[in-house]
Copies of this chain bind each other. A is one copy, B any other.
């Protein structure tokens, strides 16, 4: 391609705007130079300015309103697109005490399905943990987790009553990407007992795969039906 990325003209325009936001010269809500102004100021074509502003809007940095102008987005809109929340923080933030109950810790050979999920050979050892998160001693979430021991050594040796698996993992293997699959289901008996559910209570299953350098962990979280899984995200209109 024409240029080594950073040198591309539309990148320069993006940088020009971002730099002013970073410096505080443009605060949230402030009007950003219009496309035509950028054309005159920076000597680019309008299509190039348009691309730069459009991409920044898609990133949630700017907000564009047809016929009006382009503005710096609210700061909070800027927050991480999707955060893998720490349930411990969340429970505490709501004024409850958080406690972890460890049900099972083990090393298990990967089944074929797990091996595929981790891109390992079947039979490779995987660390396994099953525990519940309690809010005021009421079980709120069952967390079943497989961890790639290559990617996160020392996982099973962790004291999960002090450090949640989530906290441990983001320290050891900084999160780069996460995939979520959310489903509703009627849980099996073992889970039902852990969450103290009545038969017929629906549960929320969130299956999560996290990536750092390679596959790190695969998690299945089952939630108590009273609980909710909340996400806030910025959604670039593409």
Chain A contacts to B: CB under 8 angstroms: 1, 47, 55, 57-60, 63-66, 73, 77-84, 170, 174-186, 200, 202-206, 210, 213, 223, 225, 227-238
**Would you call B234 and A179 a contact (CB within 8 A)?**
no
Residue contacts A-B, CB under 8 angstroms, 15 given:
A65-B174, A77-B176, A77-B177, A78-B238, A81-B81, A81-B235, A83-B235, A180-B231, A181-B231, A182-B204, A183-B184, A183-B225, A184-B184, A184-B203, A184-B225
| Interface core residue of A58, A77, A82, A185 (most chain B CB under 10 Å) | A82
A93 to B33: give the CA distance in the assembly, Å.
38
Question: Which residue in B84, B179, B202 is a CB contact (below 8 Å) of A79?
Answer: B179
| Interface core residue of A60, A78, A81, A176 (most chain B CB under 10 Å) | A81
Q: Which residues on B sit within 8 Å (CB–CB) of A223?
A: 184
**Would you call B233 and A64 a contact (CB within 8 A)?**
no
**Would you call B79 and A81 a contact (CB within 8 A)?**
no
| Interface core residue of A55, A63, A176, A184 (most chain B CB under 10 Å) | A184
Q: Which residues on B sit within 8 Å (CB–CB) of A227?
A: 183
Question: Which residue in B58, B81, B200, B232 is a CB contact (below 8 Å) of A200?
Answer: B200
How far does the Cβ of A80 sit from chain B's closest Cβ, in whole Å?
Answer: 6
**Would you call B202 and A233 a contact (CB within 8 A)?**
no
**Would you call B176 and A228 a contact (CB within 8 A)?**
no
- The residue of chain B having its C-beta at the shortest distance from the C-beta of A222 within the complex is B184
Question: Which residue in B73, B203, B230 is a CB contact (below 8 Å) of A180?
Answer: B230
A236 to B178: give the CA distance in the assembly, Å.
10
